A and B are shown apart, each in its own frame.
Chain A
Amino acid sequence: MNAVISQLPPLLIVIPLLGALAALLLGKWNRAFAYPISLAMIGFQFAVSLVLMESVMDGDVIHYYLGGWPPPLGIELVIDSFNSFVLVVILALALLTAVWAHKGADLDIVPEKKVSFFVVFQLLITGLCGMAVTGDLFNLYVFLEISSIAAYTLVAAGRNPRSLIAGFNYLILGSIAAGFIVIGIGYLYIATGTLNMGELAVMLPAHYGQTTVYAAFLFMMIGFSIKVAFFPLHLWLPDAYTEAPAAVTILIATATSKVTAYAMLRVIFSVFTLQYVTDSFPVTELILIIAAIAIIAGAVLAIAQDNLKRMLAYSSISQMGYIMFALGVANQAALAGGILHIMAHAVMKGCLFMVAGMIIYRTGFTAIRQLSGLSRRMPVACAAFAIAGASMIGVPPTIGFMSKYYLVLGAVEAGEYLAAAVLLAGSLLAAVYIWQVIEVMYFGDIHDEDLGGGLEAPASMMVPVIILAASCLLLGIFVELPLEVVGPAAAMLLGGG
């Protein structure tokens, strides 16, 4: 292992933290400084994550002891194939969102607040990076709270006063969830005397069967289920996604939800291990059933919505069911599908929310029925929506199809035919809610003529959207590339690594 690379994990967190401080101070002096610094920091993180992923792709694992203190005293940072992949995905999305937000933030953020907006924006991303790289449970909680506090602030930061209420409710439920997680962590510490994930995985088998460990597992499961908005604990999500500033919706729908899902998978597979979960009580069955309900219920609720952002929010609840579905099936194909879906959903939902934001930016329309004939005014944006929507439905050869294929394959291999059927039915329902929009966009008549044509958004918003729409197709066609990382990552999780 290269000496420089082994020093990168802490830099991933520390340099952007200092950068955020610099952006704040320089931004007080001159507002123009804040955005470029934030953008540069996210770009830096993205570059680091690429280097890290490249160096762990052949199965290596990077361990970094903060301050040179080995666990259990010190905090350990770990980079392996799973979290390096998640890092690359969320940082790519974060970078594109930041580029998009250059113009997109004007929509909801008053100019005086833009400095603090981008600083908090960057803190959120840094918190997520911390969650992804840490190998210590309490540290995970701290980073979870850093990113969550940033997220509460950002959700409430919009011009629209309703965003305040959405942000407050998000804060209340998010804090309850965090409290549950930290209680669970406490129980694990009582049982084993360590907080390091690797050590916990080694020491816990001696304590399997203890009530303390059960309690820890249940508290953490419930806490994470709220954080990822796993049906029926999703109540904060629709309002938060709908009322938040457009750029924030994109970021929390892509990066935050994905890292939280990562953390949940990590805790279940790397701390408790699959064996514990399946042997102690029928929790995988239960998760599979709830995931199936989530897929259907989320999609049905999405169909009923008229507000575009709210429709996409409910769709996220349904899609989160897909990832939990992988957890419920828990074999190689399904987990690979689930991890692939983390990427797929980030890419396509990012694209869809960006288009929704662009529509508001140009026309102020939020309701689906207002989008009538929009494809004539915003042809590129609508085409991107159609492609990402096709991926959401799971039409081949998009990335959404690939992850769905693996999930169904995993379910069939596990003999869960009914679950596989539910998943396929879910994609039909996705077709209904996506098609409602596409039908109106492409085949509706233009109602208010005075808006005129040629409403395409500025290039800095368009480029990220085009990149994401193209990724939906290209990542699907060349699915071998992500699978090179996803396959080993799934195998590692199943092996309890």
Chain B
Amino acid sequence: MIPGILPLLAITIPLAAAALILATGRHMNLRDSVTLGAAASMVIVVLAMLPEILAGGRIGITLIPLLPGGDLALRVDALGMIFGIVASVLWLLNSLYSIGYMRALNEHDQTRFYFCFAIAIAAAIGIAFSANLVTLYVFYEILTLITYPLVVHVGTPEAMQAGRKYLAYLLGGGICLLAATILTYTLTGTTEFIPGGFLAGAGAAALSLQVIFLLYLGGFVKAAWMPFHAWLPAAMVAPTPVSAFLHAVAVVTAGVFGVVRVAGWVYGVDLMADLNLGVLLAVIASFTIITASLFALAQDNLKRRLAYSTVAQLSYILLGVSMLSTAGLIGAVIHIPFHAFQKIALFFCAGAVIVGAGRENISDMKGIGRKMPVTAVMCAAAAAGICGLPPFCGLVSKVYLTIGAVQAGELALLGVIIVSAVLNVAYFFPIIHTMIIARPSDDRALDTVTEAPLIMLVPIILAVTASVAFFFFPATPFLDLAEIAISDMSGAGMP
């Protein structure tokens, strides 16, 4: 078999699925089985590459020469593999869930929905496996545009308003990324990701490298760092599977993935430290973590509270990168999959409440757990995971981040992590309390509430089970992959 065929297949499968979804749009069952079949085969394709990557290998393929400085080329390495697994596995879960959700709510334009979903997943995998900045940019922009119809799916004026905000932020970010890519190319003559970075040898002035890094950060506005986060809560008007997609499967993940990629494979840890970029990132990340957690406290709408929680959690990853230490970086990288699995479970629960009870505000959910026991328990479990309680995988990445902060000798960052842990509990506990412990306001309040359909519960249970499993076996495969990725990029010389 041609070695590069697997990454190519991983992109082609969802693209082909998109075409098939359009073709079979009239037959609902056929169309939905196309989605499921494609998602399942994609998981197989991605996992088939895992042994080679775990053995320290890389799988690459150059598709076509595109632009000076970057052919359209794919290369799978350990970091890309982490994002690849997250995207493909969660797409499978999300597809199962969306079928239940969309059918239960009898949503309109479902064909368009699944079509855009499939292409968005292809773009996400493209970002994960891209071998250079140009390829990354190409897929990044495709992801922006193709998720727009998903965000504005309901088509209300409020949704259109949110869609405009979404596009304004993300297209603006795309422009910054393009500018940064072109500047990088003119400085070095390449945009190929090299472990340990390639900008150090460019001999450019420190100031211009710092400016370019700011452009990169602007480009990765998908990471929703403050104060450029407003698009994410606004996008909450979308159907819940889309929120899950934005928050866990692809979009924000693509943003933080990009930051890690640029920090480690374009700048390199040493250059980052020389330019004081770690400090910059640390300030941004700390500010975002604390502020977003406080914002989350103030939200009554469950999905919006979860959105602010995502904003805060994503900045943990930036915080890990900013430490520029081995443990910090490993913590940052494994926080990507671990947060994704837990956050998708939470969003699934929020969607299940919408379907089962038709309620979106936390204050309306008193005692809902009596009628929706599975949803409520799973919601509590996932929330506990995000707070960093055992036995959930959220704890693992937090431990690494804490060690990283100590290693880097930055006690301030340690303080941020601790304060944020308290805030996490503060905004998640009321949800659990309301759903499970609180009494319904009157006896008839729960009459219309039923448990969500099985097809929606299964993905929730699977996601929570996975996060428990990753607590006991963090090494398979994410921690191993993260270690390979970090040792790749840092080589020696890191504290």
Mask of B415-455 contacts with A, CB within 8 angstroms, 1/0: 00000000000000000000000000000000000000000
Q: How far is the CA of A390 from the CA of B186 in the complex (A)?
A: 26
Q: How far is the CA of A488 from the CA of B67 in the complex (A)?
A: 16
Do B172 and A408 touch across chains, with their CB atoms under 8 A apart? no
A395 part of interface (Cβ distance < 8 Å)? yes
Q: Which residues of A contact B64 (CB under 8 A)?
A: 477-478, 480
Q: Which residues of B contact A425 (CB under 8 A)?
A: 175
B230 part of interface (Cβ distance < 8 Å)? no
Do A428 and B186 touch across chains, with their CB atoms under 8 A apart? no
The tally of CB-CB contacts under 8 A between chains A and B is 66
A427 part of interface (Cβ distance < 8 Å)? yes
A420 nearest CB neighbor, chain B only? B179
Q: Which residues of A contact B68 (CB under 8 A)?
A: 333, 409
Q: How far is the CA of A428 from the CA of B175 in the complex (A)?
A: 8
Q: Which residues of A contact B182 (CB under 8 A)?
A: 405, 408-409, 412, 420
Do B179 and A479 touch across chains, with their CB atoms under 8 A apart? no
Do B155 and A427 touch across chains, with their CB atoms under 8 A apart? no
Instruction: Looking at the assembled complex, report how far the CB atom of A397 sits from the nearest CB atom of chain B, in whole angstroms.
Output: 5
B400 part of interface (Cβ distance < 8 Å)? no
Do A395 and B163 touch across chains, with their CB atoms under 8 A apart? no
Taking a contact as CB atoms closer than 8 A, the residue among B67, B137, B152, B179 that contacts A424 in the complex is B179
Q: How far is the CA of A425 from the CA of B174 in the complex (A)?
A: 11
Instruction: Looking at the assembled complex, report how far the CB atom of B359 sits from the nearest CB atom of chain A, in whole angstroms.
Output: 26
Do B175 and A396 touch across chains, with their CB atoms under 8 A apart? no
Q: Which residues of A contact B186 (CB under 8 A)?
A: 409, 412-413
> Size band of the B side of the interface?
20 to 34
Choose the segment among A69-77, A99-107, A435-443 that binds chain B (4+ C-beta atoms closer than 8 Å): A435-443
Known contacts A424-B178, A443-B152; A405 and B67 CB within 8 A of each other: yes
B138 part of interface (Cβ distance < 8 Å)? yes
Q: How far is the CA of A333 from the CA of B182 in the complex (A)?
A: 12
A421 part of interface (Cβ distance < 8 Å)? yes
Do B65 and A396 touch across chains, with their CB atoms under 8 A apart? no
Do A396 and B138 touch across chains, with their CB atoms under 8 A apart? yes
Q: Which residues of B contact A395 (CB under 8 A)?
A: 141-142, 145
Q: Which residues of B contact A435 (CB under 8 A)?
A: 164, 167
Indicate the member of A396, A406, A442, A477 with the most B CB atoms within 10 Å. A396
B183 part of interface (Cβ distance < 8 Å)? yes
Q: Which residues of B contact A427 (CB under 8 A)?
A: 175
Interface residues of A in 431-473 (CB under 8 A from B): 431, 435, 439, 442-443, 445
Instruction: Looking at the assembled complex, report how far the CB atom of A125 sits from the nearest CB atom of chain B, in whole angstroms.
Output: 33
Instruction: Looking at the assembled complex, report how far the CB atom of B120 sits from the nearest CB atom of chain A, in whole angstroms.
Output: 14
Do B138 and A397 touch across chains, with their CB atoms under 8 A apart? yes
Interface residues of B in 124-138 (CB under 8 A from A): 137-138
Taking a contact as CB atoms closer than 8 A, the residue among A409, A431, A445, A479 that contacts B171 in the complex is A431
Q: Which residues of A contact B137 (CB under 8 A)?
A: 396
A402 part of interface (Cβ distance < 8 Å)? yes
Q: Which residues of A contact B163 (CB under 8 A)?
A: 439, 443
Instruction: Looking at the assembled complex, report how far the CB atom of A398 sits from the nearest CB atom of chain B, in whole angstroms.
Output: 10
B72 part of interface (Cβ distance < 8 Å)? yes
Taking a contact as CB atoms closer than 8 A, the residue among A428, A439, A479 that contacts B67 in the complex is A479
Indicate the member of B145, B160, B179, B182 with the most A CB atoms within 10 Å. B182
Q: Which residues of A contact B228 (CB under 8 A)?
A: none
Q: How far is the CA of A393 from the CA of B152 in the complex (A)?
A: 20
A333 nearest CB neighbor, chain B only? B68
Mask of B392-428 contacts with A, CB within 8 angstroms, 1/0: 0000000000000000000000000000000000000
Instruction: Looking at the assembled complex, report how far the CB atom of A75 sits from the nearest CB atom of chain B, in whole angstroms.
Output: 39
B287 part of interface (Cβ distance < 8 Å)? no
Mask of A381-425 contacts with B, CB within 8 angstroms, 1/0: 000000000100101110001100110110011000000110011
Taking a contact as CB atoms closer than 8 A, the residue among A408, A424, A445, A479 that contacts B66 in the complex is A479
Taking a contact as CB atoms closer than 8 A, the residue among B66, B67, B149, B178 that contacts A442 in the complex is B149
Q: With contacts A395-B142, A442-B149, A479-B67 known, what are 4 further pairs, Cβ within 8 A?
A: A397-B72, A409-B182, A412-B183, A425-B175
Which B residues contact A (CB, under 8 angstroms)?
64-68, 72, 137-138, 141-142, 145, 149, 152, 155, 159-160, 163-164, 167, 171-172, 175, 178-179, 182-183, 185-186
Sample of 16 A–B contacts (CB below 8 Å): A396-B138, A401-B141, A405-B178, A405-B182, A408-B182, A409-B185, A409-B186, A420-B179, A428-B172, A428-B175, A435-B167, A439-B164, A443-B152, A443-B160, A443-B163, A478-B64
